[in-house]
Amino acid sequence: MSFSTSVCVRCSLQRQFPRLFFHTSSASLRGQSKRKHPPPRNWVLQHADPPPKDPFGGYNRTRYDQNHNSSHRAAPWSHSNDTARRFNDAPRFKVPRGVKQQKEAIIIRVTNYWSNHSHVQRFFHILGFENRKDYARLANVFAGRIKEELHSSSPEELDKLWRWEDLQNRMENGPNEAIDRALMARFLKIMPHVDQEQFGFLQAVDDALLLTHPAELHPAARQVQRKIILHVGPTNSGKTYHALRALAGAQYGCYAGPLRLLATEIFGRLNNGDIAPTGADPTKKYPRVCNLITGEDVKILDDEAGLISATVEMVPLTRKFDVVVIDEIQMIANSERGGAWTQALLGLNAEEIHLCGEESAVELIKELVKPAGDEVIVNRYERLTPLQIAPKSLGNNLADIRPGDCIVAFSRKSIFGLKHLIESKTGLRCAVIYGKLPPEVRVDQAAKFNAGDVDHSVLIASDAIGMGLNLKIKRVLFSTLKKWDGYKNVTISLSEIKQIAGRAGRYGLHDADSVGIATTFLHQEHQILASAMSNDVRELKYATIAADSVWLGRLHRTLPPSTGLGELFQLLQDVAICDAPFSITDYSKLLDAAYTIDEACPNLSIATKATIAQVPVPWAIPEAVPIFESMLVAYENGEIVDPEAIFRQAGLMLILEDVMAAREEQQSQKDTDGGASPVLSMRESSIRLEGLELLHKMLCVYLWMSYRFPVTFCMRERVQDIKLATEAGIQFCLEMVSLERAKDIDERLTKDSPPTSESPYA
């Protein structure tokens, strides 16, 4: 087939591979082209990619720059709201099958105004090509070499040059994105051969972006013959219980969990002697001294303690252990946090590593540890109590809600709307748990629910209950199975459905023969739930790896000295290569953080910037950004970072003081009259609750920084005091709040449609 841009060939290829043409209309994407021939050139340029802005467009600082009259440099690029949305929202089309068709797809892509795409221009700019007039010339020279290479290469050569099998797998999730990554990688390899004097430096960039053997970064772990013991099974199967008993009997051991909440719970249980070693009498106490290490909290009870409980990111890889327990091992495939699990698995110097999680991770784990020669043992578990899907949905019959039920919703608005609706229509009182609540408040709400407190007999929660809390739930009722993903409402994953539904009927929290029940509010979602629960979770294919400071430093040295952390992350996001079964971390959500750090602290080393980029700032909350920037500016200037002054300037201290005054007034009324009416209105309580949630998150940010930069972030004790007061204020607001947003939920239930058999998991 000829690859000229003749009308007939172009139309034919456009119909065959519609997603390869960004300028196609919605009708043509459905295979119903409104045009018989390609549009004129100016129309293509108009629709292929929007005109660049400052200098290439797309960097997502619009929200912040509009709300704050900032003089910051408009960091040049993040196409998360451009390209990513286009990939996510586009219909799923049939990916080109067969080597010949895939070659054609690549050639179409590279010749279809490739250099006009903003992310390609950004790629050229990061590499040091400043003149935009050169971009088309670079792309044309490169395209010619690509055509020649694809036409002349055998399948074996294609596999070697293009990592063809890996490219085919990645095309399943987004053809354009996968092809562009492959093209950028080939650009770095081909152009040095075109002109060594002008492009020779690209070879060093290419070498720095390649990570082929991550396990070799941990030589100490490679010197140990490790035993990997997998404990896999559904929720409420006892898998973690058996692993923790092995840990409790070890002289030197570590628990690595996904949440500070879980790490703190295991820390308490080990110190209290609530976990019996393997083979010991489980009815007796076996206290062990255990230290706690998380990002925001460090409790060293004894410097010589043999046990540590930590979040996965904080596991000390330099220490030698007898036993390590890594919880929720399926998180190793998470595109954002999975790198911490991969690093722990490959880097831990331990004789015995227990991995707890889903069956879906088994084959991937075997593949990861096979090169090191580690022994793998798989222990499989079944649920200790039955879990059933109710024969029908709840519908709008809220009168059927009873004590011990957990209603699941996926937004703060829905949670408080349901709370008001249920309390007003049933007389039952509700506890609430959701992601923005501090872990300490979540534990308190869970404890009140578990105790059968008359004021907390029903639980309304988000997917935050999926991990980290033991709850006496009799029934899990999904108010919806859809969740906002940043762009649109999507059905939650099969794994999430199973994990949340599995919280019903937890073993040891009800009678031994208790049965857990799960169902939905909506008739049309009942079949989706039933189908999901009857299907197996898909096997994981990739383990995520993240760039450490050494890797980032090596890459930075190959680029212009002015290259910032944001540009390094962008290059990793777009081009970094690693062999299967590894996949590079998704840095898209870290770009805002990286560019903010570049602007506030331009003189810091890349390693220090990379450390700061991991701080848990709630970037989605506009008010959080200037608060964090104030901390960074003070740190950059070598000043003491005064948290109270920063929070007062942001208005958060005033909110806290107002709430604490109202709390004292409420308590005074109770002491005087034996009862009291709310001293804050529903709206006032809601607004103050949001402010306190933000204050708590920023206090945790300060604590996180204080453990890494203790000289300038030196007011840890004062922050701990404010944090305790904030948690008390949040508890008070939860008692006062009853939002005025139940109407939308009530209407949605009223309009519920009949059952349907359609399911994404069928």
pLDDT average, residue stretch 706-719 = 96
pLDDT average, residue stretch 683-687 = 78
Cα distance between the two ends of the chain: 40
Pairing mode of beta strands 482-484, 489-491: antiparallel
pLDDT classification of 263: cutoffs 50, 70, 90 = very high
Sign of the alpha-carbon torsion through 701, 270, 470, 420: negative
Greater confidence, 762 or 587? Answer: 587
Query: What is the DSSP-derived secondary structure letter of residue 588?
Result: G
Query: What is the DSSP-derived secondary structure letter of residue 210?
Result: E
Identify the pLDDT of residue 567: 95
Query: What is the DSSP-derived secondary structure letter of residue 437?
Result: S
Q: In 3-state terms, what secondary structure has residue 309?
A: strand
318 and 306 Cβ atoms separated by less than 8 Å: no
Identify the pLDDT of residue 232: 97
Greater confidence, 740 or 496? Answer: 496
214-380 matches 387-539 in fold: yes
Greater confidence, 68 or 677? Answer: 677
Identify the pLDDT of residue 13: 35
pLDDT average, residue stretch 113-134 = 86
Sign of the alpha-carbon torsion through 527, 528, 530, 531: positive
Please, is 638 exposed, middle or buried when counting C-beta atoms within 10 Å of its C-beta (0-12, 13-18, 19+)?
exposed
Greater confidence, 699 or 152? Answer: 699
What 3 state SS string does 445-458 have?
Answer: HHHHHHCCCHHHCE
- CATH class given for the domain over 387-539: alpha beta
Element (H, E) at 554: helix 549-556
pLDDT classification of 597: cutoffs 50, 70, 90 = very high
Spatial neighbors of 215 by CB under 8 A, at least 6 apart, are 221, 222, 346, 368, 371, 372
Identify the pLDDT of residue 23: 37
Rg, Å, the chain Cα set = 28
Q: Take residue 475 and report the two structure tokens written for it.
A: 């029934």
* Percent share of the chain, pLDDT over 90: 54
How do residues 418-447 score in pLDDT, each as one tens digit? Answer: 998 998 888 899 999 998 899 989 999 999
Polymer length in residues for the chain? 762
Order the strands of the 405-408 sheet from edge to edge.
387-389, 516-520, 475-478, 405-408, 458-461, 430-433
Q: Which of these ranges, 102-106, 180-184, 293-297, 613-617, has the smallest mean pLDDT?
A: 102-106
pLDDT average, residue stretch 532-561 = 91
Block residue for tokens 């809601």: 686
Identify the pLDDT of residue 91: 36
List Cβ<8 Å contacts ≥24 apart for 82-90. Answer: 82/49, 82/50, 82/57, 82/58, 82/118, 83/58, 83/117, 83/118, 83/119, 83/177, 84/588, 85/487, 86/22, 87/174, 87/176, 87/177, 88/485, 88/487, 88/488, 89/487, 89/488, 90/19, 90/29
Element (H, E) at 118: helix 118-126
What is the rounded distance in angstroms from the CA atom of residue 328 to the CA atom of residue 341? 9
Identify the pLDDT of residue 230: 98
Give the helix ranges, DSSP H, for 637-761.
643-649, 652-673, 682-706, 716-736, 742-750
Q: Which of these ranges, 24-33, 321-330, 434-443, has the smallest mean pLDDT?
A: 24-33
pLDDT average, residue stretch 262-276 = 95
Q: Take residue 264 and report the two structure tokens written for it.
A: 């703190």
As a whole number, the mean pLDDT across the chain is 82
Q: Is the pLDDT of residue 20 over 50?
A: no
The angle, 0 to 180 degrees and rounded to 10, between the axes of the packed helices 175-194 and 565-575 is: 100
pLDDT average, residue stretch 723-730 = 95
Q: Which of these ranges, 315-324, 366-375, 498-507, 742-751, has the smallest mean pLDDT?
A: 742-751
Q: Which of these ranges, 165-169, 459-463, 512-516, has the smallest mean pLDDT?
A: 512-516
* The CATH fold of domain 214-380: Rossmann fold (3.40.50)
Question: Where are the chain's structural domains?
Answer: 7-200, 214-380, 387-539, 615-742
pLDDT average, residue stretch 634-662 = 95
Element (H, E) at 545: strand 543-545
pLDDT classification of 342: cutoffs 50, 70, 90 = very high
Q: Take residue 508 and report the two structure tokens written for it.
A: 């040891």
pLDDT classification of 674: cutoffs 50, 70, 90 = low
160 has which bridge partners?
none
What is the rounded distance in angstroms from the CA atom of residue 471 to the CA atom of residue 469? 6
Q: Is the pLDDT of residue 634 over 90?
A: yes
Pairing mode of beta strands 298-299, 290-293: antiparallel
Spatial neighbors of 748 by CB under 8 A, at least 6 apart, are none
pTM as predicted? 0.81
